[in-house]
């Protein structure tokens, strides 16, 4: 059932459910429900635990990703089973293995890289610019805090770095490239002859008994499928939003109440000198501070001393920085500096010691109401519509459930029009019948046979429907007389093709015995010519067959029935290897790139398989197949 209906359910149905739930609470106690699942371990990898809540959260994120990718084609039932949980768990295990490997190899991702990635992520931007509130709002919807997301992001980027390092270490030999180029540009001398089925059509006879027998044996091919038409109520957030009225006073008040959404965040530009945290750190820091006091350039000292290779070459410049993006201690030091040019005391983070210089301040700026009125109105209407949407969704669910034999009561109460779909089959149709969940519900026993309303069906996060049967057309076998002519022609062509095959095989044997091709195929033999794999001057079916033949010194023959029923005999008399010298540089580079990527993927897969084989992995299957939601 929909989460918002479940969360907001009221009325006697809700109280009945609460009553049922209270029984196990009374018998076994609340604590077993509250504390149990949070400690449930579903897998252990070298002593590292994956808990059931972690798995369920990962499954939910996977569902959300698939919902966004599939849009209205998303069917929640496809992603609510044990198989999906195993797929997600396997991914979590792989992530843990990679995380351990990254730690062992000592790979690092700087705060600057994390900040750049976050600032360049479109989902965290408004009007092409990173927005701190948008960032936190998106994370909250996905169940993250900035800290947890940045930790997860660091793991992801480190994993990508590991994979890239493995892929980057793969080599493609010149010999391998040239061998594949020769094969790719290979040409074969191909001749062929055709035995056409049309020549045998007059020899084929099909009587009514044959047609009747074929019809009786293949009635499923001549059946008009069952069809159903639906009446339905649709609740749409967009439609509700379009009906919301908003006065200037209400919009002004919304702007005032939510002014932070229309304020550009303060940005600061800073440079830093990063020193490794070791026994010499104190001496090096003192040396740098002494030179700064003497008036030496911060930029030059960064180039000389900083171990952050990404910024040292540009004088330690880190670019623009906003709050809630960088490592907390570093960020606090940046925003504590008062004036452009100020330099901080050494700041310690997990990466070492930083000396920071403030190089620019871009103060946040207010945006006037008149400049954002359209956006304010859109947001206000959306907010008001969402409140109505949840209330109406609950009412829709209740009224259609309590009055299962009609949509009229819900339609009248919610001021919704009862709409009617066109007929569609179990394969779906147009409109709402494009949604698999609607099709499944339409042909369910409750809707099709019991003629009841369906439960609320979620077409998307903002569209809901309830359906009921309008009309139904049973599957029927088409009349024999209506399909007999088509069956007759089908049988004639099939029998003519069979005769062409018999004659073609005989001609093939003649050629293999040394007979002249022009005598065996006096009318249809095509003289030999050289063709490449992608030639447009010859049938793709002939090319495919010819390039599958072995490379031999003598002429190779083969025969096959084409898709149109003709029989073709081919002869390959010569093979020319492709010239490497004539290959365009772009083609060579593309092949090298593809081979490198392919070899890299093989190396990564082998590396992960090695990690798995050497790891101590234990999966508690009974805990994977169950969930807190069930």
Could you write out the DSSP letters of every residue in 36-82?
TGGG-EEEEETTEEEEHHHHHHHHHHHHHHHHHHHGGG--GGGGSSH
Residue 524: the pLDDT is 92
Stated pTM of the model: 0.47
What pLDDT, on a 0 to 100 scale, did the predictor assign at position 39?
64
**How far is residue 219's CA from residue 601's CA, in Å, rounded to a whole number?**
49
pLDDT on residue 199: 93
How far, CA to CA in Å, does 93 sit from each of 46, 97, 506, 534?
10, 6, 60, 44
Domain spans of the chain?
A: 1-33, 36-181+579-630, 186-224+480-576, 227-248+373-474, 266-363
Q: How far apart are CA 154 and CA 117, in angstroms?
A: 10
Distance, first Cα to last Cα, the chain: 12
The position carrying tokens 């959404």 is: 261
What is the structure's pLDDT at 367?
66
Please give the pLDDT value at position 263. 62
Q: Dihedrals φ, ψ of 422, to 5°? A: -80, 165
Contacts of 126 (CB under 8 A, 6+ apart): 134
Q: Count CA atoms closer than 13 A to 401's CA, side-chain side.
A: 16
Integer angstrom CA distances of residue 47 from 56, 108, 156 = 20, 23, 21
d(CA 86, CA 32): 25
Contact 555, 188 (CB under 8 A): no
Largest CA distance in the chain: 109
Burial classification of residue 533, based on how many CB atoms lie within 10 Å of its CB (0-12 exposed, 13-18 middle, 19 or more buried): middle
Note the pLDDT tens digit of each residue in 578-609.
877 767 777 777 777 788 788 888 888 888 89
> 584: buried, middle or exposed (CB in 10 Å: 19+, 13-18, 0-12)?
exposed
**pLDDT value at position 433?**
93
CATH architecture of 266-363: Roll (3.10)
Phi, psi of 361 (to 5 degrees): -130, 125
Which residues neighbour 297 within 8 Å (Cβ) at sequence distance 6 or greater?
Answer: 315
Burial class (CB in 10 A: 0-12, 13-18, 19+), 106: exposed
Give per-residue pLDDT as tens, 282-307.
999 999 999 999 999 999 999 999 98
DSSP, residue by residue, 482-535 = HHHHHHHHHHHHHHHHHHHHHHHHHHHHHHHTT--HHHHSTTTPEEEEEEETT-
What value, to the nearest 5°, has the Cα angle with vertex 536 and ends 530 and 538? 60
Percentage of the chain modeled with pLDDT above 70: 89
The SS3 call for residue 206 is coil
Q: What is the mean pLDDT of the chain?
A: 83
**Structure confidence at residue 438 (pLDDT):** 94
- Could you give the 3-state DSSP secondary structure of residue 205? coil
Q: Quick count: other Cβ atoms within 10 Å of Cβ 610? A: 12
Q: Which CATH class is domain 36-181+579-630?
A: mainly alpha
Q: Cα separation of 106 and 305, whole Å?
A: 21
Q: In what order do the strands lie in the sheet with 617-619?
A: 48-51, 41-45, 617-619
Within 8 A by CB and 6+ apart from 28, the residues are none
The confidence score (pLDDT) of residue 229 equals 96
Cα dihedral across residues 401, 407, 411, 413: positive or negative: negative
- DSSP strand pairing (223-224 vs 476-477): antiparallel
pLDDT less than 50: residues of the chain:
1-38, 628-630
Structure tokens at 232: 């339905």
- pLDDT for the residue numbered 364: 57
CA distance 284 to 350: 18
CA 569, CA 183: separation in Å to the nearest integer? 24
DSSP 8-state secondary structure symbol assigned to residue 425? B
Angle between helices 373-402 and 11-28 (to 10 degrees): 80
**Packing angle, helices 373-402 and 248-257, rounded to 10:** 100
DSSP 476: E
Q: Which residues contact 612 (CB under 8 A, 6 or more apart)?
A: 93, 97
pLDDT digits (tens, 9 = 90+) for 478-535: 999 999 999 999 999 999 999 999 999 999 999 999 999 999 999 999 999 999 998 9
- pLDDT on residue 262: 65
Tell me the C-alpha distance between 129 and 113, whole Å. 17
Which residues face 617 on adjacent strands?
45
Whether the domain at 36-181+579-630 and the domain at 266-363 fall into the same CATH topology:
no
């Amino acid at each position: 059932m929909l989460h918002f209906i479940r969360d907001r359910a009221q009325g006697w149905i809700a109280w009945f459910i609460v009553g049922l739930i209270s029984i196990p609470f009374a018998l076994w106690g609340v604590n077993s429900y509250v504390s149990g699942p949070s400690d449930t371990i579903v897998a252990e990898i070298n002593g590292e635990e994956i808990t059931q809540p972690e798995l369920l959260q990962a499954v939910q994120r996977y569902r959300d990703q698939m919902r966004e990718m599939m849009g209205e084609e998303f069917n929640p039932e496809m992603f609510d089973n044990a198989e999906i949980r195993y797929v997600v768990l396997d991914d979590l295990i792989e992530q843990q293995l990679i995380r351990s490997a990254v730690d062992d190899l000592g790979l690092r991702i700087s705060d600057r890289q994390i900040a750049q990635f976050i600032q360049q992520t479109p989902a965290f931007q408004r009007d092409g610019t990173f927005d701190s509130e948008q960032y936190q709002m998106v994370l909250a919807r996905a169940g993250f805090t900035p800290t947890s997301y940045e930790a997860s992001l660091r793991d992801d980027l480190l994993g990508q770095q590991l994979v890239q390092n493995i892929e980057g270490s793969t080599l493609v030999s010149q010999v391998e490239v040239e061998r594949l180029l020769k094969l790719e540009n290979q040409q074969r001398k191909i001749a062929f002859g055709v035995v056409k089925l049309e020549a045998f059509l007059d020899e084929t006879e099909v009587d009514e008994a044959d047609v009747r027998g074929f019809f009786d044996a293949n009635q499923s091919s001549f059946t008009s499928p069952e069809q159903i038409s639906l009446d339905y109520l649709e609740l749409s957030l967009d439609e509700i939003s379009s009906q919301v009225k908003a006065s200037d006073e209400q919009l002004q008040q919304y702007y005032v109440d939510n002014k932070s959404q229309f304020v550009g965040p303060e940005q600061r530009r800073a440079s830093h000198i990063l020193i490794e945290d070791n026994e010499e750190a104190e001496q090096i820091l003192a040396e740098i501070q002494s030179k700064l006091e003497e008036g030496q350039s911060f930029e030059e000292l960064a180039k000389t001393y900083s171990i952050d290779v990404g910024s040292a070459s540009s004088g330690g410049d880190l670019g623009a920085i906003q709050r809630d993006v960088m490592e907390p201690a570093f960020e606090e030091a940046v925003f504590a500096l008062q004036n452009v040019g100020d330099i901080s005391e050494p700041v310690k983070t997990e990466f070492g010691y930083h000396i920071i210089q403030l190089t620019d301040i871009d103060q946040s700026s207010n945006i006037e109401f008149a400049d954002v009125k359209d956006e304010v109105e859109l947001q206000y209407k959306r907010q008001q519509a969402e409140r109505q949407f949840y209330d109406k969704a609950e009412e829709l669910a209740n009224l259609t459930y309590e009055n299962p034999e009609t949509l009229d009561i819900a339609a009248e109460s919610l001021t919704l029009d009862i709409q009617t779909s066109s007929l569609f089959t179990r394969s779906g149709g147009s409109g709402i019948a494009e949604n698999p969940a609607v099709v499944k519900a339409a042909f369910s026993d409750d809707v099709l046979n019991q003629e009841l309303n369906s439960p609320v069906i979620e077409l998307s996060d903002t569209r809901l429907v309830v359906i009921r049967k309008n009309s139904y057309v049973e599957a029927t076998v088409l009349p024999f007389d209506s399909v007999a002519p088509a069956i007759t022609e089908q049988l004639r062509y099939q029998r003519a093709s069979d005769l062409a095959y018999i004659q073609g095989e005989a001609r093939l044997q003649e050629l293999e015995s040394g007979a002249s091709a022009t005598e065996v195929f006096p009318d249809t033999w095509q003289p030999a010519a050289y063709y490449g794999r992608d030639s447009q001057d010859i049938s793709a079916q002939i090319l495919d067959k010819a390039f599958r033949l072995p490379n031999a010194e003598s002429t190779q023959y083969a025969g096959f029935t084409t898709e149109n029923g003709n029989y073709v005999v081919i002869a390959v008399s010569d093979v020319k290897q492709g010239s490497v010298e004539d290959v365009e540089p772009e083609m060579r580079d593309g092949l090298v790139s593809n081979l490198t990527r392919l070899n890299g993927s093989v190396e990564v897969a082998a590396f992960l398989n090695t990690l798995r084989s050497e790891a101590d992995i234990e999966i508690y299957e009974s805990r994977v197949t169950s969930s807190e939601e069930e």
